[in-house]
Structures are given as C-alpha cells and as structure tokens.
Amino acid sequence: MKPFQEGEHLPCGVELVGLVNQVAEDLRPPDPEHQSSCEHCRRALAELEPMWGQVRELARQEVIPPSALVATVMQAIRAERTRVSPEELPLREIVPRLVEHALLLGERGSLRIGDSVIAQVIVREALATPGVVALDAGAASPRFGKSSHGVTVSMRESRVSAQLLLVVEIGWPIPGVVRDVRERVGQAVRTITGLAAVAIDMTVTDVRGE
C-alpha cells in the first residue's frame, strides 16, 4: 500500500484516513458488514495493523531521562519566568516549548504523535540502512543546533522535518548511503505514523570501519 494522503479513497470508496483512525484509536468500524466483505478494506487493515503495532511497541518502551533533565528543565523555566514576567508563567506558553507533537485530524477526533516517537522511528530505520555505522550523538546540527541522539525532529501539524548526523562505513559510496537513508526514513515516517516527511537533511560527520 502506497503512503496515503488526506482525502485519498480506496477503490471501494472508503476514505483511507478513516481506516487509519479506526486502527490507531481502536474504534468500531462504521460499516462492519462492508468491511467484512470488502477485499480492499481487509487488505488495507491487514497492512495498517502491524504498522500501528510498531508505534504502540515504541510507545510502551521505557524512557529513562538523563539525570540532569529536571535541573535543566527547571533552569529553562526560571529563565523564561524572569524574561516574561515576575508573575506566574502560564503553562500554555511553557509546554509547547518543551514537547512537540504532530497532529492528525480525523472525523472522529485528533491524534497527536510525540516527537520522541518519530525520532525513534527515524533512528531505527537509519541504523538499519546498509553503510550506516552510527548516528553521531555528540555533533552539532547545522539547522537545529546540538543533537543528543544524532537526530533532531521538527514538526508543524502533520509535516515532519528531520536532521540526521551520520557516521558512514568506510568503502560505501556516501551519496548512495544518504539517498538510501532518505528514502527508507521518509517511507517509514509516512507508513508508520501517517505523517508527511517534508525534509530529511543529513550531514555525514565521520567515516569509519565497523
């Protein structure tokens, strides 16, 4: 099944985003009789289920925050508090700056996907690309600044931009490796999350043998 866009329909006339919402939110089908007999709907659901299973698996993974995270966050909040006003700083101004979410809108509600989930998808697919040794967790990203995991994600509604810092294995053609990473990561972001990968920028920071 090719990557879907909002408004796309299956040959049977069912809107694909409705099936995505059904799987993502574990909803009852609006027309059970049609779904049970329609080969197009059954085929689409058979592909969507394992995709969202991967998202759920990533969401269940334990995230261990760095030991200095609380101190760093509190320092940022105090600095913002001083800059804005001596009064209490509204959470609606602080929270969007600490966490980013991509937003998918459907007829039955909205779905938000955190930047950390998308980053895990990108990291996994990049490292699985032949010729990639590692992501450079200590280098600086030209567009987004310091990267702690070798990947930085920026989101706007349902569109994703990413910056990857790659370490490529000696002997592999760098342009080919970069092309393969871009195609693999872009496809994974689209099929697993339903988001559009607008830009996937890469910087090769090192080459080495495995």
Mean residue pLDDT of the chain comes to 75
Helix runs in the chain, H state only:
16-24, 32-37, 39-60, 69-84, 91-98, 115-127, 174-188
> What is the 8-class DSSP label of residue 177?
H
149 Cβ contact partners less than 8 Å away, ≥ 6 residues apart: 119, 123, 135, 137
| 104 has pLDDT over 90 | no
Are the CB atoms for 180 and 204 separated by under 8 Å? Answer: no
pLDDT of residue 98: 43
Q: What percent of the chain has pLDDT over 90?
A: 17
**Model pLDDT for residues 129-153, shown as the tens digit of each residue:** 999 999 887 655 444 433 447 888 8
- For residues 84 and 109, the model is more confident at 109
pLDDT of residue 174: 93
> What is the 8-class DSSP label of residue 1?
-
**Model pLDDT for residues 45-65, shown as the tens digit of each residue:** 888 888 777 777 777 777 777
Are the CB atoms for 48 and 10 separated by under 8 Å? Answer: no
185 Cβ contact partners less than 8 Å away, ≥ 6 residues apart: 121, 122, 125, 126, 162, 164, 197, 200
pLDDT of residue 196: 78
**Model pLDDT for residues 145-191, shown as the tens digit of each residue:** 334 478 888 877 677 888 999 999 999 999 999 999 999 998 888 88
Q: What is the pTM assigned to this prediction?
A: 0.48
pLDDT of residue 159: 79
Instruction: Report the distance separating Cα 190 and Cα 155, nearest Å.
Output: 13
Place of tokens 């980013």: 100
**Model pLDDT for residues 189-199, shown as the tens digit of each residue:** 888 877 777 88
- pLDDT-based confidence at residue 108 (cuts at 50, 70, 90): low
CATH number of 114-210: 3.30.70.1350
